[in-house]
Amino acid sequence: MSQPPASASRPRSDPGTEVSYPGRWIALYVMLAANFMNLIDVTIVNVALPSLQRDLGASDTAIEWVAAAYILFYAVGLLPFGRLGDMLGRRTMFLAGVSCFTIASAVCGLAPSIGWLVVARIFQGISAAMMTPQTLAIAQIIFAPRERGSALSMFGLTAGMATVTGPLLGGVLIGLNIFDLTWRPVFLVNIPVGLVTLGLALRYLPKGRGRRDVGIDGIGIMLAMLTVVLIVFPLVEGRNFGWPLWIFAMLAASLPSAYAFARWQIASAGAGRPQLMPASVLRNPQFMTGAVMTTLLFSSIPGLFLVLAIFLQVGFGLTPLQSGLTTIPFSVGVLLASLLANRLASRWPRRRVIIGGTLQVIGMIYLRYVIGAIDGGLNTITLLPPLLIGGLGLGTTIPALFQTVLANVEGKDAGSASGSLQAFQQAGAALGVAVMGQIFFAHFAGQASAAPPALFIEALRAALVYSIAVFAVVVAGGVRYRYQAIR
């Protein structure tokens, strides 16, 4: 591959022009590689959770934290690191994130106990938050409007590829038991990917310039972190503590904390102070409506695959590879829909949100029916159609929703808006892991490993009600959503 010309060291595009950065496609593929590494880490870990639990002797709650700690700190970090990217330079923040993520993956793979692993996952989540908001922000800037829809749809395609690759790769790595490392290679595999991505990013990513005048909103960061923790911590730990009054008090306190955050951002804008989330974004009803829809959409997927992996491996004795192969139809559906979305580019985004959400509702209702019809042994073939339908729905919805929401944002706020949108996404993912984990594990008096298959069926069917409900709300939101692209 040839290096972009020296004259193209900085992106020349602006949301209001038709000029694009000459090396935009190579730069995009490098950023997609980092995004792929982040996304695959979620899907590959879900397959490894039962093996990890047995090897480290972890409790059900600790296993939830392996998933939730990553998502929680990822969500908390997206807003401040999105703003830091605007301030210090998005390329600089991206490179720092990839470097730290690679190191964190090594620490996860070498963790000697469940406590060490959870701490390493926190570091990994923070690292992912450093690099991820920069990808969408840079893509918004280096592509002219005529190409932006196609470029953004590649993020959906990457998500589809990651969901296909993750379960299979995780199952293969655990099944091979390389050097008797059992589950550890699912984290260590990120090291070579991270090193290659870092090398390519140094060469091909446009440099650009940060905006030192943006500043850092310390109080806004603390209020945002407080709000997310007040929501997610009690949902993950509530069952473990027996749902005492203080758990509900924490949940209730998240509402005034969120209100205080919004008021502080608006007051800071009026006083000319730095803002973590620009007041122009908070006051943008199209963006905020889309952000809520994004939160709901992503509150189901990670939680679904967490409980589905445990259902298949612990409830019915499938190996990690068999579990990964069983869920592949969902991933294939995401990939196929993402390929179609790439061809559609920016056309009919609102309709695609409605169609995709409807497919997800149908898929989850169908899956719940199939699970309820299990009598005796599990026939994994029966899970293929509903998972495929659900995957087609998700792959249709994600790129259309992201295009719709970000099209309503001014280019000067691209970094913070991208970080904000992904913060809502990851907050929803953490919320979904907590809620679906609570619904699922509430059916077991102690360790789930001692429960009969019938109890796993009942638990999964109960958790699927949440997925059906949130997808139905996304469809309703798509029907009422007002789309107005900003040029």
pLDDT tens-place string over residues 6-46: 333 444 444 444 445 667 788 888 888 888 888 777 767 77
Contacts of 343 (CB under 8 A, 6+ apart): none
Supply the pLDDT for residue 18: 46
Q: What integer best gives the mean pLDDT of the chain?
A: 78
Least confident of 148-152, 189-193, 375-379, 447-451: 447-451
Supply the pLDDT for residue 391: 86
Supply the pLDDT for residue 5: 36
Residue 163: pLDDT above 70? no
Residue 446: pLDDT above 70? no
Biggest CA–CA distance in the chain, Å, is: 67
**Best mean pLDDT range from 96-110, 339-353, 392-406:** 96-110
Supply the pLDDT for residue 294: 82
Least confident of 219-223, 271-275, 479-483: 479-483
Nearest to 457 by CA among 385, 360, 383, 356: 383
Supply the pLDDT for residue 402: 75
Supply the pLDDT for residue 152: 67
Residue 197: pLDDT above 80? yes
- Rounded Cα distance between 15 and 406, Å, is 11
Percent of the chain with pLDDT over 90: 11
Supply the pLDDT for residue 11: 43
Residue 443: pLDDT above 50? yes
- Rounded Cα distance between 291 and 297, Å, is 10
In three state form, how does the secondary structure of 356-423 look? HHHHHHHHHHHHHHHHHCCCCCCCHHHHHHHHHHHHHHHHHHHHHHHHHHHCCCCHHHHHHHHHHHHH
Least confident of 156-165, 360-369, 376-385: 156-165
Least confident of 121-130, 154-163, 317-326: 154-163
Supply the pLDDT for residue 409: 64
Query: Average pLDDT in the 391-416 region?
Result: 72
Confidence of residue 472 (pLDDT cuts 50, 70, 90): confident
Of residues 455 and 256, more confidently modeled: 256
Q: Where are the domains of the chain?
A: 20-480
Residue 55: pLDDT above 80? yes
Contact 368, 348 (CB under 8 A): no
Pair of tokens at residue 335: 């990939």
Supply the pLDDT for residue 96: 92
Confidence of residue 415 (pLDDT cuts 50, 70, 90): low
pLDDT tens digits, 288-313: 887 888 888 888 877 788 788 888 88
Query: Average pLDDT in the 381-392 region?
Result: 90
Q: What is the CATH number that goes with domain 20-480?
A: 1.20.1250.20
Residue 103: pLDDT above 50? yes
Supply the pLDDT for residue 324: 76
Residue 118: pLDDT above 80? yes
Torsion of CA 296, 302, 303, 304, to 10 degrees: 100
Residue 2: pLDDT above 50? no
